[in-house]
Amino acid sequence: MIELLPLFIAIPLGGAFLITLTAWKLRRLADILGVCAGLPLLVLALLCIGKQGVYHVGAFLAPLGINLVLDGFSVLLLVIVNVIGFMALLYSISYMEQYTAKYKYYALFLLMVGGMNGVVLTGDMFNLFVFLEIASIASYALVAFGCEHEELEASFKYLVLGSIGSTFILLGVAVLYGLTGFLNMASIAQAVASMEKTWLLSFASVLFLVGFGIKAALVPFHPWLPDAHPSAPAPISAMLSGVLIKALGVYAITRVVFNVLGATPLFGIIIMVLGVLSMTIGVFLAVGQWDFKRLLAYHSISQMGYVVLGIGLGMFIIANNGPTLVAGMAIFGGIFHLANHAVFKSLLFLCSGSVEYQTGTRQLKSLGGLQEKMPVTGTTCTIASLSIAGIPPFNGFWSKLIIVIATVLAAFVFPGMLILTAITILVSFVTLISFLKVLRYVFLGELPSLFKQIKDSPFFMGISLVMLSLLCIGMGLLLIPGLRSVVFDPAVEALKQGLDYGKQILTGF
């Protein structure tokens, strides 16, 4: 399995260039090539579960060569990226008919997937930056894909802020290189573990925090997200909200802080504060929105707050030598919510795309009563809404429950943590209110006479909606110890080991 790791980067890149080369004349070829590139990625990612190892590209050994690292945390993100990517590709077959130049869309989409796979797999800081730029630049273009006034403006805003973020990350990489003399993450981790902590190290970590914070749209750095995510075509919104901000933002910062720079109590507190800010501000901004996709975009900010809060809490406890069991639980809650959020948020964006595809509007006030006309979309959207609001037995409930329990347990050691419990539950409640509003205004109520003739989503759109909603219902099962120990425990262990990551990578698993 390990020897096939480069395929995660080679298949999407090859697919993208083949599509631009061949598919501009034949309309259907782009669809076929796109799905042909997505399917093997999905299968390979699922085969990777439970495996770990290091791949040396070009047979050059670390620290000089680039290595691809597959460990528990990478596998989790790899599966999320490729599952959601495949669903979005299926959905695009019908949805993107309304746009011209569909082959360009597929090419950019595959470039984005290739970039994200690279970010998740790479074990080299500079390589991380390169893949991050591939994914970001493809997403700038995809946000502007409609070429209308609003989309171009949103894309430009995203471009400027995203470039600032990338610059910060590049500067951070440069500082780390100057400090340690390595670009390989494992070698940096070993060097950092043995050197004394200087202010330059903190400087580098602040640069990474700002850079990846912009990519993850944590609250002080969030203004691009509510414009960019609604402007993109629906499958791209699903990819951006569901996967991109996680792979480029949360995954990268978690990996860098835990395994390369080493967790410190202060950094844990900063990340927790950012998480709490994102949760509360995001959700209160979301309640007042009347644009379907914009509301979902604000909820992305809020839900990423949960993920970051769980991870930050774990970091804080580990850095303070608190009980590792509680730390493991907090991190587990965070990354479980990351996986769940990818599923239900992409499902919600795809549902909003279906509604917009059939009715031509996404203003909540001009919609209503669509449940009887679009039963599949209505049912799946209800499942996703209940899931994001944290209603049992859907997946969102379990991950929020674990985060809440972790904060309560942490409060036995660090008494101030109880306030986090209160905020977590309050935000979940406001989320419920806001999604009741969505259901009330879109799927219940009276059907406007304008929409008497509409039909449900076309086949390919419907099938990806149904599959994602099945995932929403089924992912609670991952809590069963047998499944959990395969999927999540390696990921938590990979983060908990901290700077031992370096030794593990360089000496082999």
Partner 1 sequence: MNGMSPIVQTVARFVKVFILLYGIYLTLTGHLTPGGGFAGGVVIASLYILLTLAYGKKFSLKYFPRKLAGSLDSVGALIFLVVAVLGFYFGGIFFANFLQKNYPGAEFSLLSAGTIPINNIAICIKVASSLFLVFIIMAVARIIDKKDGSKDYKQDQEKE
Number of residues binding to partner 1, judged by CB under 8 A: 16
Instruction: Decide if residue 78 touches partner 1 (CB under 8 A).
Output: no
Output 124 or 374, the one with its CB closest to partner 1: 124
Q: Quick one: which of 32, 39, 53, 55 contacts partner 1 (CB under 8 A)?
A: 55
Output 26 or 147, the one with its CB closest to partner 1: 147
Instruction: Decide if residue 21 touches partner 1 (CB under 8 A).
Output: yes
Q: How far apart are CA 218 and CA 300, in angstroms?
A: 10
Indicate the residue type of 246: K
Instruction: Decide if residue 29 touches partner 1 (CB under 8 A).
Output: no
Instruction: Decide if residue 426 touches partner 1 (CB under 8 A).
Output: no
Q: Quick one: which of 47, 147, 200, 266 contacts partner 1 (CB under 8 A)?
A: 147
Answer for the pair 142, 105: CB distance below 8 angstroms, yes or no: yes
Instruction: Decide if residue 365 touches partner 1 (CB under 8 A).
Output: no
**Smallest distance, partner 1 to C-beta of residue 230, A:** 20
Residues 378/379/380/384 CA torsion (nearest 10 deg): 100
Output 58 or 482, the one with its CB closest to partner 1: 58
**Smallest distance, partner 1 to C-beta of residue 59, A:** 5
Listed residue (106, 46, 11) closest to 471, CA to CA: 46
For residues 32-47, one letter each, b for 16 or more C-beta atoms within 10 angstroms of the residue's C-beta and e for the rest, the string is ebbbebbebbbebbee
Stretch that binds partner 1, among 55-63, 204-212, 352-360, 446-454 (CB under 8 A): 55-63
Indicate the residue type of 421: T
**Smallest distance, partner 1 to C-beta of residue 177, A:** 21
Instruction: Decide if residue 99 touches partner 1 (CB under 8 A).
Output: no
Residue 387's Cβ-side half-sphere holds a number of Cα atoms within 13 Å equal to 29
Answer for the pair 313, 252: CB distance below 8 angstroms, yes or no: no
Residue 376 vs residues 49, 320, 456, 493: alpha-carbon distances, Å: 31, 49, 7, 39
Instruction: Decide if residue 56 touches partner 1 (CB under 8 A).
Output: yes
Instruction: Decide if residue 58 touches partner 1 (CB under 8 A).
Output: yes
Instruction: Decide if residue 57 touches partner 1 (CB under 8 A).
Output: yes
3-class DSSP state for residue 104?
Answer: helix
3-class DSSP state for residue 407?
Answer: helix
Instruction: Decide if residue 153 touches partner 1 (CB under 8 A).
Output: no
What tokens does 421 get? 């419990």
What tokens does 190 get? 């070993």
Instruction: Decide if residue 20 touches partner 1 (CB under 8 A).
Output: yes
Stretch that binds partner 1, among 8-16, 214-222, 228-236, 241-249 (CB under 8 A): 8-16
Instruction: Decide if residue 484 touches partner 1 (CB under 8 A).
Output: no
Instruction: Decide if residue 59 touches partner 1 (CB under 8 A).
Output: yes
Instruction: Decide if residue 18 touches partner 1 (CB under 8 A).
Output: yes
Burial of residue 391 (CB within 10 Å: 0-12, 13-18, 19+) is middle
Cα-based angle 209, 196, 248 (whole degrees, multiple of 5):
20
Instruction: Decide if residue 467 touches partner 1 (CB under 8 A).
Output: no
Indicate the residue type of 254: T
**Smallest distance, partner 1 to C-beta of residue 99, A:** 16
Instruction: Decide if residue 146 touches partner 1 (CB under 8 A).
Output: no
Stretch that binds partner 1, among 52-60, 325-333, 343-351, 353-361 (CB under 8 A): 52-60
**Smallest distance, partner 1 to C-beta of residue 14, A:** 5
Q: What is the DSSP string of 439-454?
A: IIIIISSPPPGGGTT-
Q: How far apart are CA 294 and CA 225, in angstroms?
A: 9
Instruction: Decide if residue 459 touches partner 1 (CB under 8 A).
Output: no
3-class DSSP state for residue 363?
Answer: strand
Instruction: Decide if residue 455 touches partner 1 (CB under 8 A).
Output: no
Residues that bind partner 1 (CB under 8 A): 3, 6, 10, 13-14, 17-18, 20-21, 55-59, 147, 149
